Amino acid sequence: MSEQTASITPMPAGSALEPTASAEERWGLFQHPLHSAEDYINSLRGRGLKVYLFGEQVEEPVDHPMIRPSINALAASYQLAEDDPELATAESPYTGTRVNRFLHIPTSPEDLVNKNQMQRRMGQLTGTCFQRCAGLDCISVMHSLTYDIDQAHGTEYHSRFLKLLEGLQRHNLIIAAGMTDPKGDRSKAPHEQADQDMFMRVVDRDEKGLYVSGAKAHMTGGLNSHWVMVMPTMRLSEADRDYAVIGAVPLQTPGLTFIYGRQSCDTRAMEGGEIDQGNARYSGQEVLVVFDRVFIPWEHVFMDGEWEFASVLVERFTDYHRASYVCKTGLGDVMVGAAATIAEYNGVESASHIKDKLVEMVHLNETIFSSGIASSHQAYPLPSGAWINDGMLSNVCKHNVTRFPYEISRLAQDLAGGLMVTLPSEKDFEASNTSELLERFFKGRDDIPTEDRVRILRLIENMTLGRNAVGYLTESLHGAGSPQAQRIQILRNMDVDAKKRHARKLAGIEVIATDADAS
């Protein structure tokens, strides 16, 4: 047990917190550091969270067949830390030990490069969104943001944050990022909304802490985490001061309601069997999390009214997070592998147009990776000592991600053929009156079992049309900001004037004093 919690009387597992439980009582929920994927899965049991799915309250999310694959994906981050500590852990200056890299604040370009490599590996292992990066990017931002707010306002957010971070690292916990507010009428500022809870806001304060109400939409891994950090979703003005709030709460905090977001073909997980799921083991997760007068003790408040820092927060978060989308190159590796495998099973792998399509897929996938990894190599330090990705290149990375996985998927579907979407069900392959016929007529190459051919087709279906198309395609489009958000950032930073000077100088149009600056 950590020094921080050594003096705390542990609460029985699953016991609810009092609404205004202190910071210490909140840490008391976490009695033992998590050492393994199994520890992690067990740590989610018996939490008594208010979770709704299909209009009903879910008794135990961990055992729900539709939810479990998303938990497995996060568990893989614990497993990878055991299997490849060089890649998936890092030395923490706060604990003096190696900690999961998903909890490590980057303090060099190498840290960010290693993070990207770990993300690609996680994508290869799970074929889905493994849900941990928004939380990592959130704590990375909080390191520098709390430092900068303290410098400007004489607050003590940075030391509070470091305490939280140390606790997360010592206990090996997952923190989710609660960023996206429902936003209501997009033409109106938070304080102008008809429903004041369209953006999360402070509704009350007392000597012990503050109370927030509102909701966070499509929160990645929101239900699979131990803590959630809520923060503003966009730049704010002085009139929005009460919306300028950042704080962290454990998921057991009273006042939280989770409504599970469904995914394409998700009920296949409830049909029994695994082949039709394509990737039965892993999936992503998004939830709507509603906050109803949720209390946050001052020790876990990291912004309260410093509205001018909301835009800094958003910009830094996106600079980190848009490079995190190299995660999709791991999924791209799986897509290329699946497409090459089905070509092989169909006996056409040596056709030149097949090879050319695979080359195109790899080219697109590596183009995504190059922009992301370049943004990490071009990282720069912030005053707190944390390093951050180059913003232009991370925006280019995410913008590539809004397009290339669609083309990669189109090529994978091209190689798969129409059978991918006309295959009978797993049950028909098992049923006595149809199995022989299906085995016979869906055979590809003689030496390949029909079942293997069906399995790989179902995987391509899963990633391009089914459950993990959420993670590979639509999340690629909208996650970390929709395409236009990246174009706005590219427009802001593209410095066309410098480029014009280069062109004019070479064309002999004019010689201007600042030419030297533009070199």
DSSP state of 29: T
Residue 47 C-beta: closest distance to ligand SF4, Å: 21
> At CA 463, angle to CA 439 and CA 64, rounded to 5?
90
Name which of 209 and 221 has its Cβ closer to Fe ion. Answer: 221
Task: Classify residue 163 as exposed, middle or buried by CB count within 10 Å of its CB (0-12, 13-18, 19+).
Answer: middle
Q: Near Fe ion by CB under 5 A, which window of 136-144, 215-223, 233-241, 242-250?
A: 215-223
Which residue in this structure is represented by tokens 């996650």? 479
Q: Which of 107, 138, 286, 464 is catalytic?
A: 286
Contact (Cβ atoms closer than 8 angstroms) between residue 173 and residue 264: no
Name which of 324 and 394 has its Cβ closer to ligand SF4. Answer: 324
Name which of 58 and 76 has its Cβ closer to ligand SF4. Answer: 76
269/251 Cα distance (integer angstroms)? 25
Q: Where on the phi/psi map is residue 278: left (φ > 0), alpha (ψ -120 to 50), or beta?
A: left
> At CA 260, angle to CA 255 and CA 263, rounded to 5?
165
Is 133 tagged catalytic? yes
44/30 Cα distance (integer angstroms)? 11
Q: Which of 321, 399, 402, 464 is catalytic?
A: 321
Q: Confirm or reject binding of residue 486 to ligand SF4 (CB under 6 A).
A: no
Neighbours of 433 (CB within 10 A): 7
Q: Confirm or reject binding of residue 222 to Fe ion (CB under 5 A).
A: no
Q: Which of 40, 64, 126, 129 is catalytic?
A: 129
Contact (Cβ atoms closer than 8 angstroms) between residue 261 and residue 218: yes
Neighbours of 504 (CB within 10 A): 15
What DSSP string describes 207-242?
A: SSEEEEEEEEEEEETTTS-SEEEE--SS---GGGGG
Name which of 5 and 375 has its Cβ closer to ligand SF4. Answer: 375
Q: Confirm or reject binding of residue 325 to ligand SF4 (CB under 6 A).
A: yes
Pairing of strands 51-53, 56-57: antiparallel
Is 257 tagged catalytic? no
Q: Which of 30, 40, 102, 130 binds ligand SF4 (CB under 6 A)?
A: 130
Tokens standing for residue 26 = 């909140």
Q: Confirm or reject binding of residue 479 to ligand SF4 (CB under 6 A).
A: yes
Considering only residues 55 through 114, tell me which ones interact with Fe ion, judged by CB under 5 A: none
Tokens standing for residue 326 = 């190299």
212/253 Cα distance (integer angstroms)? 12
Name which of 132 and 201 has its Cβ closer to Fe ion. Answer: 132
Instruction: Determine the size of the site formed for ligand SF4 (CB under 6 A).
Output: 11
Q: Confirm or reject binding of residue 76 to ligand SF4 (CB under 6 A).
A: no
Is 327 tagged catalytic? yes
Residue 325 C-beta: closest distance to ligand SF4, Å: 5
Name which of 109 and 284 has its Cβ closer to ligand SF4. Answer: 284
What is residue 142's three-state secondary structure?
helix
Tokens standing for residue 15 = 């016991």
> Site map for ligand SF4, 194-223, x if CB under 6 A?
--------------------------x---
Tokens standing for residue 123 = 């994508």
Q: Near ligand SF4 by CB under 6 A, which window of 125-133, 225-233, 340-348, 377-385?
A: 125-133
Q: Which residues pair with 178 in a beta bridge?
A: 230
Residue 397 C-beta: closest distance to Fe ion, Å: 13
Considering only residues 439 through 498, tell me which ones interact with Fe ion, judged by CB under 5 A: 479
Is 238 tagged catalytic? no
Residue 473 C-beta: closest distance to Fe ion, Å: 13
Residue 402 C-beta: closest distance to Fe ion, Å: 12
Q: Which of 133, 361, 459, 470 binds ligand SF4 (CB under 6 A)?
A: 133
Q: Near Fe ion by CB under 5 A, which window of 69-77, 113-121, 220-228, 242-250?
A: 220-228
134/222 Cα distance (integer angstroms)? 10
362/356 Cα distance (integer angstroms)? 10
Residue 327 C-beta: closest distance to Fe ion, Å: 8
Task: Classify residue 491 as exposed, middle or buried by CB count within 10 Å of its CB (0-12, 13-18, 19+).
Answer: exposed
Q: Which of 118, 327, 342, 485 binds ligand SF4 (CB under 6 A)?
A: 327
Residue 506 C-beta: closest distance to Fe ion, Å: 42
Q: Which of 64, 133, 155, 472 is catalytic?
A: 133
Residue 198 C-beta: closest distance to ligand SF4, Å: 24
Residue 129 C-beta: closest distance to ligand SF4, Å: 3
Name which of 134 and 249 has its Cβ closer to ligand SF4. Answer: 134
Name which of 133 and 245 has its Cβ closer to ligand SF4. Answer: 133
Say which entry of Fe ion, ligand SF4, none residue 413 contacts (CB below 5 to 8 A, set by partner kind). Answer: none
23/448 Cα distance (integer angstroms)? 59
Contact (Cβ atoms closer than 8 angstroms) between residue 27 and residue 5: yes
Dihedral (CA of 315, 316, 322, 325) sign:
negative
Task: Kindly give, in sequence order, each residue whose CB lies less than 8 Å from that of residue 371, ignoring residues fewer than 6 positions away.
Answer: 393, 394, 396, 397, 400
Q: Which of 475, 485, 489, 501 binds ligand SF4 (CB under 6 A)?
A: 475
Is 220 tagged catalytic? yes
Active site residues: 129, 133, 220, 286, 321, 325, 327, 475
Binding site for ligand SF4 (CB under 6 A): 129-131, 133-134, 220, 324-325, 327, 475, 479
Binding site for Fe ion (CB under 5 A): 220, 479
